Structures are given as C-alpha cells and as structure tokens.
Amino acid sequence: MPSERAIALAEEFVASNDAVVAFAQSCDDVQWVTMVPGEDWPVGVVIHHIAEGHAQMAHWLTAMVAGDGVPDTNDDIDGRNVTHAERSATVSIAETVALLQENSRQIETFIRQLSDEELDRTAPFGPAGGQSLPVFQLVSASFGHAQGHLAHAEAAVR
C-alpha cells in the first residue's frame, strides 16, 4: 500500500521536474547552447542529462526496492555522462522537454506506489562506495540531482 511519505516524495519530485521543464521552455536558442560553468556542458546538455537521469534513477530505484542494490561505480557513471554529452550536443528544447515529461511520469508513478517498508529497505549503492542506503534516500537524491544541475544552468543564463 502506498505511503503518505511516498506520495509526498513523489510530489516533491514532480515539483522539481516541473521547475526544470519551465526553465527549459524559457530558454532561447542562444541560452540553450550557453556553457554551464562547473559542468563543462551547454545548458541543453545539462537539462537533457537531468531527463536521462530520471530513467537511470527509475532503474536504480527498482533494483534498490528489490534488494538487489546498484553495482554501478562513479567511474561507470562518469563514462556514461561523457557518452551522453557527446550524443546529446544538438538535442532540441522540445525533445528535451518531452523526455523530461515522459521519464518523470515513469519515476513519479513508481515513487507513488512505494510502501513505507519499501522506502525504508536498504541495499548496497555502488556510487556511494557500496554503502547500504535506504530507498527513500535515493528517492530524495532523484530530485536533488535535478535541483543541483538546474541551479547551475540557471546561473549560466543569468
């Protein structure tokens, strides 16, 4: 049975994603290709990274809820990020917004269905050095990831 915590976390995730979508839609073509200091990617790549990150997070959350954990390392993630940046260098605002909306619906639905027991379940999380983390901490990281990258992108276009 879904928990009130899960519903609140899902709503926080949705609010975070809505802010990313609103920012993306507010960008013009020049802003979309503005380099983001500290990220070394253009705004469009950073925002697309958030959208793809939602899909990765859904995969990780599924594994964590199952108790399987996440074997990925920081090096694995860094390698995927380099490949993503190259592949998404010319992605449009409209394509990115569509992906943000599609992937966020998937993760929102997943989060909303979690029980308190599932939120509290722990499993090893490779990117944290294999440390066991509770699922709810990873859920919180899903919107923290988006918020952090969004703040950098917003600062770049100011």
pLDDT 10s digits, 25-68 = 999 999 999 999 999 999 999 999 999 999 999 999 999 999 99
The CATH fold of domain 4-157 = Four Helix Bundle (Hemerythrin (Met), subunit A) (1.20.120)
1 pLDDT higher than 80: no
The amino acid at residue 47 is I
Measured between alpha carbons, how far is 134 from 124 in angstroms, rounded to an integer? 9
Comparing C-alpha atoms, which of 17, 13, 118 is closest to residue 62? 118
Tokens of 5: 């915590």
pLDDT value of position 24: 98
pTM of the prediction? 0.94
Q: How confident is the model at residue 83 (pLDDT cuts 50, 70, 90)?
A: very high
DSSP the chain: ---HHHHHHHHHHHHHHHHHHHHHHH--HHHHT-EETTTTEEHHHHHHHHHHHHHHHHHHHHHHHTT--B---HHHHHHHHHHHHHHTTT--HHHHHHHHHHHHHHHHHHHHT--HHHHH-EEEEGGGTTEEEEHHHHHHHHHHHHHHHHHHHHHHH-
